Amino acid sequence: MNFAMPHGPGTTSGSGTDGGEQLLWSRLRREARLAVDEEPLLAGVLQATILDQPDLAHAFAYRLANRLGGGDLSRLAVRDIFAAALAARPSLRIAFAADLAAIYDRDPTCRRYLDPFLYYKGLAALEAYRIAHWLWADGRTTLALHFQSRISEVFQADIHPAARIGTGVFIDHATAVVIGETAVVADDVSILQSVTLGGNGKDRGDRHPKIGRGVLLSVGAKVLGNIRVGEGARVAAAAVVLHDVPDFATVAGVPAKVIGQAPTTGPSQSPAFTMDQMFGDGI
């Protein structure tokens, strides 16, 4: 599975390079200035969250800290933790930009970068998970689990900090998404609401799914056990997947069975990018 920076349409904004990230950041700032004119009541939020920040990554850190802070940890403490993560792991900047670009490319309701940045809880849950994953890898497991709990409470998505998730990933809506401890999600995957990447018993060890690049996991899909969903595959709504799925296959049903093929003409036609959940005539 490829966990390198995605090279498909998810990076059409150029978010995979420093220059592309700067272009995206400039676009977001322009959108924020226009939004201040449109809605002066939000001027303070937009100024503090975007216009006063030095770059996209720190703006993400500020926004997430304000949403996840409070209670056991103050917003300022959370912001300091997130800033430390950015300093220690520069690749987080690439992931933040690629994930934001993926939403803009794939979600038909998204007409500007500002909206997912401020409001989409799928994006917020994913980026906060990335901080928790850094903490987990750094041996700070108690704090990582704290953030897992907060992400679940605030964004309704439960992502274990030990899970490995690539870049250019789109989590739509986020509500009731569950990703287990040993799950692996490659680049350029799209995950809709109520998807579970879970275990199939109480055995410890490597027990969660491995999702290939460009996969589309549709609404309510359940993928259970240490199984592989191949590159470019499409898992239908409410499917329960208990066995490996071949590359570029379409599976549906309970238990899921192969019912067709997904496009194989290139990354731009993969189900994760097209978000196409239709299986063809007669199916």
C-alpha to C-alpha distance for 86 and 124, rounded to whole angstroms: 16
Mean pLDDT on 49-68: 95
160-164, 176-180, 276-280: range with lowest mean pLDDT? 276-280
Output DSSP code: residue 49. I
Q: Are residues 125 and 157 in contact, defined by beta-carbon separation less than 8 angstroms?
A: yes
Residue with the two structure tokens 């890898």:
137
Q: What are the structural domains, with CATH classification, of the chain?
A: 1-156 (1.10.3130.10), 176-283 (2.160.10.10)
- Tokens found for residue 49: 């969250």
Mean pLDDT on 180-192: 97
Mean pLDDT on 224-241: 97
Output DSSP code: residue 232. T
Mean pLDDT on 21-38: 95
C-alpha to C-alpha distance for 66 and 79, rounded to whole angstroms: 8
Per-residue model confidence as pLDDT tens digits over 85-134:
999 999 999 999 999 999 999 999 999 999 999 999 999 999 999 999 99
pLDDT of residue 216: 97
pLDDT of residue 161: 98
Per-residue model confidence as pLDDT tens digits over 246-281:
999 999 999 999 999 877 766 667 899 888 877 654
Q: Say yes or no to pLDDT of 153 above 90.
A: yes
Mean pLDDT on 32-59: 96
**Angle at the Cα of 231 from the Cα atoms of 101 and 218, rounded to 5 degrees:** 65
Q: Say yes or no to pLDDT of 2 above 50.
A: no
- Tokens found for residue 35: 């939004």
Q: Say yes or no to pLDDT of 183 above 80.
A: yes
Q: Quickly state the pLDDT bin for 3 (edges 50, 70, 90).
A: very low
pLDDT of residue 26: 96
Mean pLDDT on 193-203: 92
Q: Say yes or no to pLDDT of 211 above 90.
A: yes
Q: Are residues 28 and 101 in contact, defined by beta-carbon separation less than 8 angstroms?
A: no
Percent with pLDDT over 90 in the chain = 82
Q: Which residues pair with 228 in a beta bridge?
A: 210
Q: Say yes or no to pLDDT of 224 above 50.
A: yes
Q: Say yes or no to pLDDT of 1 above 70.
A: no
Q: Are residues 210 and 1 in contact, defined by beta-carbon separation less than 8 angstroms?
A: yes
Q: What is the mean pLDDT of the chain?
A: 90
Cα 246 to its chain centre, rounded Å, is 23
DSSP H helical segments within 109-252, as ranges?
Answer: 114-119, 121-137, 141-155
Q: Are residues 64 and 124 in contact, defined by beta-carbon separation less than 8 angstroms?
A: yes
5-14, 69-78, 180-189, 214-223: range with lowest mean pLDDT? 5-14
Helix axes 75-88, 56-68, angle to 10 degrees: 150
Residue with the two structure tokens 């592309």:
20
Sheet-wide strand order for 196-198? 157-159, 177-179, 196-198, 222-224, 240-241
Percent with pLDDT over 70 in the chain = 89
pLDDT of residue 14: 36
3-state secondary structure of 178: strand
